[in-house]
């Protein structure tokens, strides 16, 4: 099983289609394969920059792509549901059991409410997932319909995630239109996620920093 193959897997894609439809009805931002491909590719980039093997990178990208399939069952505990679904899908492939368990564990632990990064793969997925803040994730352009999640994402006009293993740093730099979203709004939604990124970066031997409009916030 390869990353390319999992991206084309009809069952995985159907779970994402249904999950994104459900979350749209609930008022959540985009959780389609646009998000999961970004998470997968960013996971691969993190693991590459920090010197992990091709196998670890490939497995990380597979887990990154599959991390949100549990939304098709329920948003609550979607990480755990997604891990169970992923286990059933991957069980029918040629992926070795130990690799399947590693992928499933990473998926199960990516959510900030219940998860924890105990290995590099999970750490990379957490950082890749929680750093995906961008205007294009907002489903509507009618600002009168925005909730706080929409305002925060729509306010982000620029986002850049930089990795520096030599300096042992991971830096998320955001440009935010503060007329749309205050820093209070941002941290109301993202403080827990940023704290999870901080702990995840430690697993990679790095420090996580957040910069907003040129100011270091975290």
pLDDT in tens, 10-61: 999 999 999 999 999 998 999 999 999 999 999 999 999 999 999 999 999 9
Q: Which pLDDT belongs to residue 182?
A: 87
Q: Which pLDDT belongs to residue 198?
A: 97
Per-residue pLDDT band for 167 (boundaries 50, 70, 90) equals confident
Tell me: pLDDT of 70 over 90. yes
* Cα–Cα distances in angstroms (integers) from residue 130 to residues 102, 117, 126, 190, in the given order: 20, 13, 6, 8
For residue 212, the cross-strand partners are 174, 215
Tell me the average pLDDT of the chain: 95
In order of start, what are the domains of the chain with their CATH numbers?
3-216 (1.10.3210)
Q: Which pLDDT belongs to residue 165?
A: 85
Tell me: pLDDT of 189 over 90. no
- The Cα–Cα gap between 63 and 59 comes to 6
The model's pTM is 0.95
Question: Residue 193 — left, alpha, or beta (φ > 0 → left; ψ -120 to 50 → alpha)?
Answer: alpha
pLDDT tens for residues 169-179? 999 999 999 99
Q: Which DSSP string do the residues of 134-168 spell out, in sequence order? A: -GGG-S---GGG--HHHHHHHHEEEEEEEEETTTT
pLDDT tens for residues 128-157? 999 999 999 999 988 888 988 899 999 999
């Amino acid at each position: 099983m390869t990353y390319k193959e999992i991206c084309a897997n009809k069952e995985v894609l159907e779970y994402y289609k249904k999950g994104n439809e459900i979350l749209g009805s609930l008022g959540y931002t985009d959780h389609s394969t646009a998000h999961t491909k970004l998470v997968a590719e960013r996971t691969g980039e993190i693991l590459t920059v920090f010197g992990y093997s091709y196998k670890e990178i490939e497995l990380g990208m597979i887990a990154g792509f599959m991390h949100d399939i549990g939304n098709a069952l329920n948003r609550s505990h979607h990480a755990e549901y997604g891990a169970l679904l992923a286990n059933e899908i991957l069980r029918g492939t040629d992926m070795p059991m130990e690799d399947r368990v590693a992928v499933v564990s990473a998926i199960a632990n990516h959510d900030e409410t219940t998860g924890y990064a105990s290995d590099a793969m999970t750490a990379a997925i957490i950082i890749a997932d929680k750093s995906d803040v961008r205007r294009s994730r907002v489903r509507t352009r009618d600002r009168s319909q925005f909730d706080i999640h929409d305002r925060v994402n729509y306010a982000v006009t620029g986002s850049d995630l930089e990795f520096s293993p030599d300096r042992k740093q991971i830096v998320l730099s955001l440009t935010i239109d503060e007329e749309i979203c205050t820093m209070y709004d941002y941290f109301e939604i993202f403080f827990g996620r940023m704290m999870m990124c901080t702990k995840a970066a430690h697993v990679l031997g790095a420090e996580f920093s957040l910069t907003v409009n040129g100011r270091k916030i975290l």
